[in-house]
């Protein structure tokens, strides 16, 4: 999704904007640009392609003097990726420049009205409407900017985080948001706006989270805030605790690899604060034991990999706490008029906390008066702020588009929640809890062991760099693991891949198997070994090559599978945390082998802030 940055201060703006944009590259983009006031006028440089192109075009920003500016990385929605559609966009007089993340849903209607009033459009974007609309109201309000901005705010529908500069007010950067993320950073060297914290971390840890329909006005030494009526409001800044190195590659070739290697720490950080005196305590849940016992049904709602952790959670929560669980894709949940009853709990899972569909699902549940719990990674994100309760996954900033460490942290959060609910409901004995805790505490070291086996997996991956199709099969939790393994592979290596519940093969899927097709079979659930083994035999007899991921005591499988990757012994409910590691590595090495852009795969965005 698009990324926006802005700076006003004593330093040259362009290098700061370029640096900030580089920290937002993970969001996915196809073009980039900057608008900078040079003391006389606003200049814009923009181009399709990577940030490198913009850096070259501006000689690392040196050809753009000025200490006030805004910048943008564009992920095309309206209008193809092209120089003319890249942001910033100007009004006709080139006195107002705008950058935008989001979608102006009523842009066609507004565009037609503006054309009727004599405005000319250069681009095919929805954003250009905002530049002209600002121009229109600026003239109508005799240059009252706050009035202008609130009027525009009331006219546009959809989602936006906007950064704006006016040539007639060059001592200010203006910013506002609705449903797209926006933060303001305060530093001694000047003030900044950005779509996400990593873009400002180099300069400050003092950050304001802008709420829906709030306006921020930044000058060199001050930051003011206004509500949608244009009235001044007070806001408190938050201190970001992240280590700046967490948002850098730190010697690894890719962020994805670095983040895979951070998984042992992530698991520890998510686990440790919730274990007290041999029991699980999730204080932030703020639910009394009575409230927990009264939960009728849990609805888990999320997108992508977060959804996959929800599928795993269903098996565990139902298995341990015997609470019925429904798992929904947020984009489906929000429009299917879900039946939610008193006593239900809606759990929204999201790394970014900004995914548009997940946020909408949260709002739908809240509108129906249902208690909501956000399992979120980004502190202070929209879902974290709007959910009734928040349980943070302590994964730190995740930059690679393909999630790994946040996924692992989400799994841990689900385990903790399931054991905690089971504990409160008396469904597990103290001894069982203590055994599970022992297994949980062992996971970080076990992940380290699996990561150390990377060369073995790289060798297998190298053989499948040219694969056309890869299938993942499994039953129960193994099916959920396969879903994530398959998504990892296809999103970063562009190899077509699907995950199937192994028992479904005979109902159509097996016709896809050809001589040499790779089938990855996940076989970690003892009670399902035999069943999945039969499916392995079935695909092999139709020519498939089988890569099995199984428990270390299941050596029998070597007689049937072509390649075997063993995972260490753990509780049957926790196998996902281990089995996913080789699948992440496999996807990573296929992607590297194909020469793909591992961290920023084509067409994808890290946080999907439009529906």
Annotated active-site positions, please?
Answer: 2, 606
Q: Which listed residue (352, 393, 577, 591) binds ligand AGP by CB under 6 A?
A: 352
Is the CB of residue 488 less than 8 Å from the CB of residue 583?
Answer: yes
> Which residues, in sequence order, are bridge partners of residue 44?
35
Residue labelled with tokens 């891949």: 497
Q: Distance (Å, rounded) from C-alpha 603 to C-alpha 2?
A: 12
Residues 73-112 within binding reach of ligand AGP (CB under 6 A): none
Is the CB of residue 54 less than 8 Å from the CB of residue 47?
Answer: yes
Residue 571, both tokens: 């509780």
Q: How far is the CB of 259 from ligand AGP (least distance, A)?
A: 11
Residue 607 makes contact with ligand AGP by CB under 6 A: yes
Is the CB of residue 554 less than 8 Å from the CB of residue 585?
Answer: no
Q: How far is the CB of 7 from ligand AGP (least distance, A)?
A: 26
Q: How far is the CB of 375 from ligand AGP (least distance, A)?
A: 9
User: Near ligand AGP by CB under 6 A, which window of 25-33, 273-281, 399-407, 585-593?
Assistant: 399-407
Of the pair 123, 393, the CB lying nearest ligand AGP is at 393
Residue 14, both tokens: 């362009």
Residue 355 makes contact with ligand AGP by CB under 6 A: yes
Residues 256-315 within binding reach of ligand AGP (CB under 6 A): 303-306
Q: How far is the CB of 304 from ligand AGP (least distance, A)?
A: 2
**Any idea what DSSP says for residue 170?**
E
Residue 608 makes contact with ligand AGP by CB under 6 A: yes
Q: How far is the CB of 356 from ligand AGP (least distance, A)?
A: 9
Largest CA distance in the chain: 82
Instruction: Identify the helix (H) or strand (E) that includes residue 373.
Output: strand 371-376
Residue 576 makes contact with ligand AGP by CB under 6 A: no
Residue 371 makes contact with ligand AGP by CB under 6 A: no
Q: Which listed residue (70, 162, 361, 402) binds ligand AGP by CB under 6 A?
A: 402
Of the pair 364, 491, the CB lying nearest ligand AGP is at 491
Q: What is the 3-state secondary structure (H, E, C) of 553-607?
A: CCHHHHHCCCEEEEECCCCHHHHHHHHHHHHHHHHHHHHHHHCCCCCCCCCCCCC
Query: Residue 299 contacts by C-beta under 8 Å, 6 or more apart in sequence?
Result: 325, 326, 327, 328, 333, 338, 340, 344, 345, 346, 347, 365
Burial class (CB in 10 A: 0-12, 13-18, 19+), 463: middle
Is the CB of residue 7 less than 8 Å from the CB of residue 192?
Answer: yes
User: Near ligand AGP by CB under 6 A, which window of 12-20, 115-123, 285-293, 395-403?
Assistant: 395-403
Residue 351 makes contact with ligand AGP by CB under 6 A: yes
Residue 403 makes contact with ligand AGP by CB under 6 A: yes
Q: How far is the CB of 384 from ligand AGP (least distance, A)?
A: 12
Is the CB of residue 89 less than 8 Å from the CB of residue 38?
Answer: no
Q: Count residues near ligand AGP (CB under 6 A).
A: 16
Residue 58, both tokens: 């501006």
Q: What is the 3-state secondary structure (H, E, C) of 28-71?
A: CCCEEEEEEECCCCEEEEEEECCHHHHHHHCCCCCCCCCCEEEE
Residue 610 makes contact with ligand AGP by CB under 6 A: no
Contacts with ligand AGP, 523-562, as mask; x by CB under 6 A? ----------------------------------------
Q: How far is the CB of 194 from ligand AGP (least distance, A)?
A: 17
User: Near ligand AGP by CB under 6 A, which window of 212-220, 264-272, 398-406, 520-528?
Assistant: 398-406
Q: How far is the CB of 62 from ligand AGP (least distance, A)?
A: 35
Of the pair 350, 577, the CB lying nearest ligand AGP is at 350
Residue 491 makes contact with ligand AGP by CB under 6 A: yes
Is the CB of residue 450 less than 8 Å from the CB of residue 271?
Answer: no
First to last CA, the chain: 11
User: Near ligand AGP by CB under 6 A, which window of 347-355, 517-525, 540-548, 561-569?
Assistant: 347-355
Residue 247 makes contact with ligand AGP by CB under 6 A: no
Residue 347 makes contact with ligand AGP by CB under 6 A: no
Of the pair 217, 390, the CB lying nearest ligand AGP is at 390
Of the pair 70, 483, the CB lying nearest ligand AGP is at 483
Residue labelled with tokens 């989400």: 410
Q: How far is the CB of 608 from ligand AGP (least distance, A)?
A: 5
Query: Residue 199 contacts by C-beta under 8 Å, 6 or more apart in sequence?
Result: 3, 5, 20, 21, 23, 24, 192
Q: How far is the CB of 406 from ligand AGP (least distance, A)?
A: 7
Of the pair 8, 387, the CB lying nearest ligand AGP is at 387
CB closest to ligand AGP, residue no = 304
Q: Edge to edge, what strands does the sheet with 325-329 contain? A: 325-329, 297-302, 344-350, 371-376, 389-392
Is the CB of residue 467 less than 8 Å from the CB of residue 495?
Answer: yes
Tally of helices (H runs) and strands (E runs) in the chain = 18, 27
Residue 486 makes contact with ligand AGP by CB under 6 A: no
User: Near ligand AGP by CB under 6 A, which window of 104-112, 116-124, 282-290, 349-357?
Assistant: 349-357
Of the pair 350, 550, the CB lying nearest ligand AGP is at 350
Compute φ and ψ for 372, nearest 5 degrees: -120, 145
Q: Which residues bind ligand AGP (CB under 6 A)?
A: 303-306, 350-352, 355, 358, 401-403, 487, 491, 607-608
């Amino acid at each position: 999704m698009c990324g926006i940055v802005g700076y006003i201060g004593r330093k040259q703006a362009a290098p700061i904007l370029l640096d900030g944009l580089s920290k937002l590259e993970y969001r996915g983009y196809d073009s980039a640009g900057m608008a900078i006031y040079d003391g006389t006028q606003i200049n814009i440089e923009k181009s399709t392609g990577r940030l490198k192109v913009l850096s070259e075009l501006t000689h690392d920003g040196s050809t753009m003097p000025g200490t006030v500016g805004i910048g943008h990385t564009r992920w095309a929605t309206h209008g193809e990726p092209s120089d003319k559609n890249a942001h910033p966009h100007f009004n006709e007089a080139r006195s107002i420049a705008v950058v935008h993340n989001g979608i102006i849903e009523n842009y066609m209607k507004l565009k037609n009205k503006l054309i009727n009033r004599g405005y000319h459009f250069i681009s095919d974007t929805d954003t250009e409407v905002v530049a002209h609309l600002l121009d229109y109201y600026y003239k109508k309000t005799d240059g009252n900017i706050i009035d202008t901005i609130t009027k525009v705010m009331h006219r546009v529908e959809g989602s936006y985080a906007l950064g704006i500069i006016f040539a007639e007010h060059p001592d200010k950067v203006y910013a506002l948001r609705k449903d797209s993320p926006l933060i303001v950073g305060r530093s001694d060297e000047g003030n900044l706006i950005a779509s996400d914290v990593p873009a400002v971390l180099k300069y400050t840890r003092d950050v304001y989270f802008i709420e829906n329909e709030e306006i921020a006005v930044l000058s060199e030494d001050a930051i003011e805030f206004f509500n949608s009526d244009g009235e001044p409001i007070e806001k408190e800044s938050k201190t970001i605790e992240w280590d700046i190195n967490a948002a850098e590659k730190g010697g690894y070739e890719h962020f994805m690899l670095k983040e895979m290697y951070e998984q042992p720490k992530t698991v520890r950080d998510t686990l440790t604060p919730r274990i007290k005196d041999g029991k699980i305590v999730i204080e932030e849940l703020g639910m009394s034991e009575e409230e927990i016992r009264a939960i009728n049904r849990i609805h888990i709602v999320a997108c992508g990999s977060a959804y996959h952790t929800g599928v795993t959670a269903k098996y565990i929560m139902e298995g341990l706490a015997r609470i019925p669980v429904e798992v929904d894709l947020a984009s489906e949940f929000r429009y299917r008029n879900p039946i939610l009853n008193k006593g239900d709990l809606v759990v929204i899972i999201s790394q970014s906390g900004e995914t548009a569909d997940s946020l909408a699902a949260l709002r739908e549940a809240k509108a129906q008066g249902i208690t909501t719990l956000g399992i979120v990674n980004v502190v202070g994100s929209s879902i974290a702020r709007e959910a009734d309760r928040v349980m943070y996954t302590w994964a730190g900033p995740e930059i690679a588009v393909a999630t790994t460490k946040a996924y692992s942290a989400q799994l841990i959060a689900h385990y903790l929640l399931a054991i905690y609910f089971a504990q409160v409901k008396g469904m597990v004995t103290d001894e069982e809890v203590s055994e599970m805790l022992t297994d949980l505490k062992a996971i970080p070291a076990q992940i380290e062991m699996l990561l150390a086996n990377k060369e073995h997996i790289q060798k297998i991956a190298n053989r499948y760099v040219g694969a056309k199709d890869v299938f993942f099969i499994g039953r129960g939790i193994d099916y959920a693991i396969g879903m994530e393994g398959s998504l990892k592979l296809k999103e970063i290596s562009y190899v077509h891949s699907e995950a199937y519940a192994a028992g479904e093969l005979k109902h159509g899927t097996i016709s896809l198997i050809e001589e040499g097709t790779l089938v990855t079979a996940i076989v970690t659930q003892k009670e399902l070994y035999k069943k999945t083994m039969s499916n392995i035999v079935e695909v092999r007899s139709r020519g498939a090559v089988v890569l099995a991921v199984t428990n270390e005591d299941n050596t029998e499988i070597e007689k049937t599978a072509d390649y075997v990757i063993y995972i260490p012994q753990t509780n049957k409910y926790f196998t996902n945390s281990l089995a996913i590691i080789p699948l992440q590595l496999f996807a990573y090495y296929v992607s590297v082998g194909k020469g793909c852009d591992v961290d920023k795969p084509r067409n994808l965005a890290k946080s999907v802030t439009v529906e």
